[in-house]
Structure 1
């Protein structure tokens, strides 16, 4: 970083009016420096030493001092301004990596000397979530990037750190008083903000009150958003994982500062771990339910390992509305809860060993159009009434589950089509014979006598690594897994066809083509049943 840029920063700091009041309390040192508990990626760090940021296999270079490059989506901007990449430079650990970290931080501070509130901005580096994350990462990595730094850098760093922390505290106080729209923010953002205040309260001498304020926020947020069964109210496994990760950072910081961990925080950590594990298949990726994508295995493993909590494997999250059938090498997961991220009642997935067989289509990290399209029933292994709207305020009921040594069964119903056409959908799934026989029944029940018929459609989306073809003159389908194992699909009550589909289950990836089995069936009586089965071949 040139002396010219430093001089510009110093002049800007003197000329602009203070948004934060008196700044004579700017700290000169950090009395507590919590250790960052997550590993970085050395290869990404080496690339960053050459000015190349990497994320999920994609790369971005900053041109000049521009931290908001044209054409970069919001997820990339959050990554750049959140400073997660400091971990990668720390992993490299060389003098060059340390110098690059300082140069990038100086560049950022010059570009953003003072926090500001942008009411309608599409992106702002002063988002509460980003500030909380950035502050905690700066403090946790201080020993790495500040080693051998000169007084000019130290002055610049501590002034920016204090300004951001003070601004964050004021914004959170305003949120409590509902003086701004910040109180409508997602809980994840509030939790990150509270964590940032905690780190600063621990690190700044004489700011113990910030520790108490942040813990009040953390306890309130955690109690409100984590259910007794350990699941997050979003019903998203990935959001639950990120929430758990932040709570583990809070726990580590409190230990570093010699503070006890509140019982509420520890209890929720212990509840979250088995809930997060619940959604992993044998391939260690997440089920594609309620907006969750497959996730990075190392990331998930790292969080669960850091939690260091062992316990029994859950088969149900009854309060959150998920059930798992596991017999032999076959796992079936069913969503029978309310619509939050995705509107897909009674949808399910199936895997055999480490191979996905039937999978929902997924979501998209950055493209809102894709994300919305993939949130509706046709992108899931479920049943829709063609031409009729599915209510978001639907209720599920008639839940039954039975898990035995040699079979597993789940049943649930929903009323999402009652307001549109008076129909209730009930789904039954039965897994038996060492997991080699999955049978399903989709039934439609009229709540009032039907005055017209309806056309329903059951969809079974196939994972792109599975080969599928219609056989027996189109009356059945043969699915061939990557390991060579075959499964045969049968149905009665409808007609079977093979159509195009998409798979968007890879975090950071783009949707790719796959196929789906489609079974339209007519609903013309007060009780209509469509039965289907998926059985392993060659036994």
Structure 2
């Protein structure tokens, strides 16, 4: 149906120019733009080195690569360079797309990709049309009109959530900008307002519980609202209310270094995107009451701890969900210390599946079992999802505290997992305790069946950021971690489990391969109905109260 409507839309009366052009708001990366000019094409975790080859002559290695190329997000990167070579690439590749795919052919004719592409073409129209004559300009406007009409007929086919919001934002942009397309603005704005009510809950969260996806939704809503306002159009109350709900949630999900917590398939966020989005957000408040999209925030000094304290999403929203219940991340100043492995999707199906397991997060896991588990063979959604009981979550003069329990192993082993975390007001000491216990007679019977004579193996993991230099200390009883800021953190435990320092990986979007790193592991075997492991993460006593940390490598665009 997309292909059929794309071909039919080619017969639309074309626009002849712009009646309004929004200010470009999409942020590109200068380094990535220079790589594109040099012929290094890095999309969807795949790199093709082809100097001198046109973008559309590449053999696309996968669906993610193709989607990123067809969405034209690379125009942001070329615009960030902005010189003659960047303009030449942008123009050649755009008009080449029009010649090859402009009549409805190719894989780029989906509502969300078309919306993304329209936003970039309109944002960077000055770059694209600079020096172009009448005929190429008319072809550009004709293609914009074609895509706009297609989008007006097919936005409903986009999946609810981010894909549909992207499609509708693109339709609003085009309706405002192009001559003769004004009639599409009202219906698109009304549909976007309805989606705001349906997809953004009362606490400012979205069903996927993916912080980076929430940022993308918020960014698109902000762009649409600004474009409507600048054009003298009304922004509907539901649209504005959704933005007002999301902004405090995003602030609560932001670590001390400015990046987002990495959970449920999301990364830290594109460089500069979060700062820009929050700078344009109404108010400066952070969500204080309860959880932010199911995440608990503990903060002290310049340290932040963000904990996944709700069940993972299920159904349609859970296709990328992770079994990360009660996992946490810790950032000190501008330096992440304890992290999750991240999203494995850019590195292939095997990495994607492994990254969703509990063992890929900084929490406790029963040997061989994630706290939430996939459904039938090859199913993407988590069917057997852990439930969470929040016992205590508060912040006061004595620090921040979280006590929570999850039932991920009650059905399989009769075991509950309880996690207690306390961060002191200065952010220099995180005290934790993790317990496994079988409470009721029925749970204890189930544990006996699972344990038999061998007990139940468990491992408490703390995945470290690759920039944290970790070594065993105190004769193997502790781990010292040096950050690039000069801070020294020390991990200690109460001796209930065996301490080891083992290899791990850090899955970072925009890189070709997983980064090697380390993880602290406390492992043991549960023979009785309960075990409790106490541990601390604290700055060494000789670490200054304040460190001037200016040396930060920007690796966001490096392969």
Measured against the shorter chain, the TM-score band is: 0.7 to 0.9
User: What does 1:312-331 align with in structure 2 at a 5 Å threshold?
Assistant: 312-315=285-288, 318=291, 320-331=293-304
The alpha-carbon deviation at position 63 of structure 1 amounts to 6.2
Contact 2:308/2:325 (8 A) holds in 1 = yes
Spell out, residue by residue over 1:94-116, the C-alpha distance to the aligned partner (whole angstroms, 9 max, x if none): 66655543332221111113225
The answer (yes or no) to whether the contact 1:283–1:354 under 8 Å persists in 2 is yes
Identify the residue that residue 30 of structure 1 maps to in structure 2: 18
Q: CA offsets, 1:500-538, max 9 Å, x none?
A: 111224544531222112112333333332222223333
1:226 and 2:200 are equivalent in the alignment? yes
Which residue of structure 2 lines up, in the alignment, with residue 103 of structure 1?
92
Q: Give the C-alpha shift of residue 209 in structure 1.
A: 3.4
1:130-145 matches, within 5 Å, as 130-145=113-128
Residue in 1 that maps onto 2:403: 411
**Partners of 2:308 and 2:523 in 1: CA distance:** 21
Distance 1:47 1:339, change over 3 A: closer
Structure 2: how far apart are the matches of 1:331 and 1:93? 37
| Secondary structure in structure 1 of the residue aligned to 2:418 | strand
- Deviation of residue 336 (structure 1)? 0.8
The correspondence for 1:362, drawn from 327, 342, 354, is 342
CA contact 1:315–1:323 (8 Å) conserved in 2: no
2:343 alignment partner, SS class: coil
| Aligned residue among 44, 64, 67 for 2:56 | 67
What's the CA shift string for 1:240-261, capped at 9, x where partnerless? 1111111121112212322011
Structure 2's unaligned 5+ residue stretches are 314-320, 373-383, 543-559
- After TM superposition, the structure 1 stretch with the greater mean CA deviation from structure 2, 204-213 or 236-245, is 204-213
In 2: Cα distance, 1:93 partner to 1:236 partner: 33
When residues 418 and 479 of structure 1 are mapped into structure 2, their CA distance, relative to the original with a 3 A threshold, is same
Distance across 2 between alignment mates of 1:436 and 1:277: 22
Matches within 5 A, 1:50-449: 61=50, 67=56, 69-70=58-59, 72-91=61-80, 98-116=87-105, 124-172=107-155, 175=156, 182=157, 185=159, 187-305=161-279, 307-315=280-288, 318=291, 320-340=293-313, 341-364=321-344, 366-368=346-348, 369-388=350-369, 390-391=371-372, 392-432=384-424, 434-446=426-438, 447=440, 448=442, 449=444
Contact 2:418 2:434 (8 Å CA) reproduced: yes
Conserved? CA contact 1:115–1:167, under 8 Å:
no
Structure 2 vs 1, CA of residues 521 and 64 (structure 1 numbering), >3 Å: closer, same or farther?
A: closer
- Structure 2 partner of 1:6: none
Tell whether the 8 Å contact from 1:114 to 1:164 is kept in structure 2 after alignment: no
Tell me the CA shift for residue 308 of structure 1. Answer: 4.5
Closer, same or farther in 2 for the Cα pair 1:65/1:47, shift >3 Å? Answer: closer
How far the C-alpha of 1:344 sits from its partner, in A, is 1.2
Structure 1 residue 348, shift from structure 2 partner: 0.9
Cα drift, residue 205 of structure 1? 4.0
Determine which of 460, 463, 466 is the counterpart of 2:462.
460
Deviation at 1:405, TM superposition (A): 1.7
Question: 1:365, 1:507 within 8 Å by CA — same for their partners in 2?
Answer: no
Change (3 A) 1:68 1:149: closer
Q: 3-state DSSP class of the match of 1:538?
A: coil
Instruction: Show structure 1 runs of 5+ residues with no match.
Output: 1-15, 119-123, 176-181
In structure 2, the CA distance between the partners of 1:203 and 1:486, relative to structure 1 (3 Å rule), is closer
Task: Give the CA deviation at 1:201.
Answer: 2.2
Give yes or no for contact 1:490–1:534 (8 Å, CA) kept in 2: no
Show the counterpart of 1:518.
521
Match among 508, 516, 534 for residue 531 of structure 1: 534
- Return the offset for 1:160: 2.0
Secondary structure at the residue paired with 1:260?
coil
Q: State the shift of 1:317 in Å.
A: 5.4
Q: Deviations over 1:437-477 (max 9, x none)?
A: 32212122214224233222211112222232333443333
CA deviation vs aligned residue, 1:284-343 (integer Å, no higher than 9, x gap):
2222222222334323223323x1434233456526221111123332221111113211
Q: How far apart, CA to CA, are the structure 2 residues paired with 1:463 and 1:51?
A: 31
Q: What displacement does 1:51 show? A: 6.2
How many angstroms apart in 2 are the aligned matches of 1:52 and 1:514?
A: 26
- The Cα of 1:93 is off from its aligned counterpart by 5.1
Indicate the SS of the match to 1:221: helix
How many equivalent pairs are there?
Answer: 508
Greater C-alpha Rg:
1
Q: Residues of 2 paired with 1:535 and 1:50: CA distance?
A: 46
Maintained 8 Å contact 1:327/1:406: no
Q: Give the conservation status (yes or no) of the 8 Å contact 2:344–2:352.
A: yes
Across the aligned residues of Structure 1 and Structure 2, the Cα RMSD in angstroms comes to 3.0
Deviation at 1:362, TM superposition (A): 1.4
Secondary structure of residue in 2 paired with 1:86: helix
